[in-house]
Amino acid sequence: MSVYLDHQAAKPVDSRVISEMTIYLNQKFANPASLHCDGDEATDALSEFRRKVADFINAPDPDSIIFTSGATESNNLALIGAAMRNKKKGNHIIISEIEHISILNIAKYLERQGFEVSRVPVDQYGIVRLDKLERLITDKTILVSISMASNEVGSIQPIKKISDLAVKHKILFHTDAVASESVMPIDVQQIPVDMLTLSSNDIYGPRGVGALYLKKGVRVNPIIIGGGQERGFRSGSENIPGIVGFGKAAEIMKAEINEEAARLKVLRDKLIKGILETIPKSYLNGHPEKRLPHNAHFRFDYIEGESLILGLKDEKIAAATGSACSSKTLEPSHTLIAMGLLHQEAHGSLMITFGRDTKEEHVNKLLDKLPVIVKRLRLLSPLTPPDLIKKNNEVNE
């Protein structure tokens, strides 16, 4: 097994979660819609674990949690559901330029359905420009959707201020909290969002399950029609083992999040300092302070991100160039371009995301291997200026 430093793409399922789930796979397997005692048991499990997910984000009413098949579906339900529900009020939606690809593509779909979408720009650190956001709002705006934090460069958005703006202009506000949910506590009573996307795997629960928080009174049109489960917002027999796992993961995360975030921040800061000090012409992407405690995102002049990943792979270190969901495209990251980087700069990126299994020795191994790999790649590149090769040699010798 590699030194795994790609936790934004996938996380292992916590063994405490697995033990809780197992019984619901083969013993307590009934459908909560059934009227017999076994069905009642499934209904009880559904309520108990829905309550745990609600508690995780301090939602007063467990019914505000709508279980889905994952964050992509939650984002679809939030954006398409709200757009369709409110189309008589207006047809304008605002997202940011650096949203996750699921939001970007849903927005394109809505444009094809006749909605107008504005994309609010970000600054050089990947933080949404609040001044621009307010200027984009019109009397036709029905929804703003901006993530809590960037899933790529880890910049934390001014969510409270965005939420205040949405309240002031009486617009629905949705936030995708997936990138931050394992390292930043969420309190929907402190930040009164209307809708919030959660994923189970991002807090060490199973994949294939997620949730959309819908504040009391907020209505969206369902996008999956059928037997009327989840108060009619999301039909289909409930994935009880998945929901149990998600609820257990949420309970554990709530108890451990502050301590874990503080631990990861120390490791992250060690890595950032070490890389920037030992590798010439290396830079941190994203905000130096307002960033997720488990995220370090670098770029290196005269280096291709993909070659770095292959070099690290040879050393059994698993890292990424950016978002896993966009990794199949050859285009540079839309987030880095929105932050003002040139195409060649965006192509030289490395994204490191830590998790519960990350230890200091993993950081040390990366600090040990990466400078050597960068040096080797630069020696091979015809673009590397001779003075940098000289500097590289001085630093690494």
Q: Which residues bind ligand PMP (CB under 6 A)?
A: 70-72, 100, 102, 147, 151, 176, 178-179, 199, 325
What spatial distance separates the first Cα and last Cα of the chain, rounded to whole Å?
30
- The one catalytic residue in 325, 337, 388, 389 is 325
Residue 55 CB contacts under 8 Å (≥ 6 apart), including other chains: 250, 251, 254
Kindly provide the b/e burial profile for residues 171-207, where b requires at least 16 CB atoms within 10 angstroms of the residue's own CB: bbbbbbbbbbbbbbebebeebebbbbbbbbbbbbbbb
Q: Which is nearer to ligand PMP, 77 or 275 (CB)?
A: 77
Q: Which is nearer to ligand PMP, 73 or 345 (CB)?
A: 73
Shortest Å, Cβ 394 to ligand PMP: 39
Shortest Å, Cβ 149 to ligand PMP: 8
Residue with tokens 């619901």: 24
Residue 394 CB contacts under 8 Å (≥ 6 apart), including other chains: none
Q: Which is nearer to ligand PMP, 43 or 239 (CB)?
A: 239
Q: Which is nearer to ligand PMP, 86 or 151 (CB)?
A: 151
Shortest Å, Cβ 329 to ligand PMP: 15
Q: Which is nearer to ligand PMP, 70 or 355 (CB)?
A: 70
User: 350, 297 in Cβ contact below 8 A?
Assistant: yes
Shortest Å, Cβ 106 to ligand PMP: 11
Q: Which is nearer to ligand PMP, 137 or 261 (CB)?
A: 261
Distances (CA, A) of 343 to 118, 282, 331, 337: 23, 16, 9, 7
Token pair in block for residue 52: 């745990």
Integer-rounded Cα Rg, in Å, for the chain is 22
> Among 19, 104, 16, 146, which Cα is nearest to 323's?
104
Q: Which helix (H) or strand (E) is 197 found in, with range?
A: strand 195-199
DSSP 3-state assignment of 209? coil
> Among 231, 233, 199, which Cα is nearest to 81's?
233
Catalytic residue check, 37 = no
User: 96, 138 in Cβ contact below 8 A?
Assistant: no
Q: Which is nearer to ligand PMP, 179 or 220 (CB)?
A: 179
At residue 297, what is the residue type?
A: H
User: 351, 321 in Cβ contact below 8 A?
Assistant: yes
Shortest Å, Cβ 8 to ligand PMP: 6
Active site residues per annotation: 325
